[in-house]
Amino acid sequence: MAPILSISGLSKTYDTGFQALKSVSLDIEKGEVFALLGPNGAGKTTLISIVCGIVNASSGSVTVDGNDIVRDYRAARSLIGLVPQELTTDAFETVWATVSFSRGLFGKPKAPAIVEKVLRDLSLWDKKDNKLVTLSGGMKRRVLIAKALAHEPRVLFLDEPTAGVDVELRRDMWRVIRELRDTGVTIILTTHYIEEAEEMADRVGVINKGEIILVEDKAELMRKLGRKQLTLHLADPLSAVPAGLSAHNLELSSDGSELVYTYDTQGERTGITALLQDLNAAGIRFRDLQTRQSSLEEIFVNLVRTPS
Ligand SMILES: Nc1ncnc2c1ncn2[C@@H]1O[C@H](COP(=O)(O)OP(=O)(O)OP(=O)(O)O)[C@@H](O)[C@H]1O
Q: In this structure, which long-range contacts are made by residues 83-90, counting pairs with CB atoms below 8 Å and at least 24 apart in sequence? A: 83/144, 83/145, 83/147, 83/148, 83/156, 83/157, 83/158, 83/159, 83/161, 84/144, 84/159, 85/159, 85/160, 85/163, 87/132, 87/140, 87/143, 87/144, 89/132, 89/147, 90/132
Mean pLDDT calculated for residue range 239-263 = 89
Nearest CA to ligand 1 atom 3: 14
How many residues are present in the chain?
308
> What is the per-residue pLDDT across 85-106, written as a single tens digit (0 to 9) for each?
776 667 789 999 999 988 888 8
Per-residue pLDDT, 291: 85
What number is the ipTM of this complex?
0.95
Q: Which residue, judged by its Cα, is nearest atom 29 of ligand 1? A: 41
pLDDT at 255: 93
Kindly state the average pLDDT of the residues 249-272: 85
How far is it, in rounded angstroms, from Cα 70 to Cα 77? Answer: 10
Q: Which of 19-33, 36-50, 277-291 has the highest mean pLDDT?
A: 19-33
- Region 284-297: mean pLDDT is 83
pLDDT above 70: residue 140: yes
Kindly give the distance from the C-alpha atom of residue 215 to the centroid of ligand 1, in angstroms, as a whole number: 21
Domain boundaries, given as residue ranges, for the chain: 5-223, 227-304
Going along the chain, which residue ranges are E strands?
5-13, 19-28, 33-37, 59-64, 67-68, 80-83, 155-159, 186-191, 203-208, 211-217, 227-234, 250-252, 258-264, 286-293
Mutate to test the pocket of ligand 1, among 10, 13, 18, 196 (most ligand atoms within 8 A of CB): 18
pLDDT at 75 over 70: yes
Provide, rounded to the nearest whole percent, the portion of the chain with pLDDT above 70: 94
**Which ligand 1 atom is nearest residue 210's CA?**
14
Question: Hey, whose CA ends up nearest to atom 16 of ligand 1?
Answer: 43
Q: What is the widest separation between alpha-carbon atoms in the chain?
A: 79
Does the pLDDT of residue 259 top 90, yes or no? Answer: yes
Write the DSSP assignment of 268-294 as a string of letters: S--SHHHHHHHHHHTT--EEEEEEEEP
Res 303 pLDDT > 80? no
Residue 273 has pLDDT above 80, yes or no: yes
Superfamily of domain 5-223: P-loop containing nucleotide triphosphate hydrolases (3.40.50.300)
- Greater pLDDT, 237 or 299: 237
Average pLDDT in the 47-55 region?
93
Ligand 1 centroid–CA 133 distance in Å is 30
Among protein residues, the one whose CA lies closest to atom 30 of ligand 1: 41
- Say if residue 151 is exposed, middle or buried (CB neighbours under 10 Å; 0-12, 13-18, 19+): buried
Residue 136: the pLDDT is 86
Can you give the pTM of this predicted structure? 0.78
Averaged pLDDT for residues 119-132:
92
- Place 78 in a pLDDT band, splitting at 50, 70 and 90: very high
- CATH match of 227-304 with 3.30.70: yes
Contact residues of ligand 1, CB 6 A cut-off? 14, 16, 18, 20, 38, 40-46, 192
Q: Region 174-185: what's the mean pLDDT?
A: 87
Confidence grade of residue 232 (pLDDT, cut at 50, 70, 90) = very high
Nearest-CA residue for ligand 1 atom 26 is 40
Q: Give pLDDT, residue 226.
A: 65
Cα 306 to ligand 1 centroid, rounded to whole Å? 19
In this predicted structure, what is the pLDDT of residue 307? 57
The pLDDT of residue 306: 61
Range of 57-61, 136-140, 194-198, 294-298 with top mean pLDDT: 57-61
Residue with CA at minimum distance from ligand 1 atom 12: 20
What's the 46 CA to ligand 1 centre distance in angstroms? Answer: 6
Residue 198 pLDDT level (bands cut at 50, 70, 90) = confident
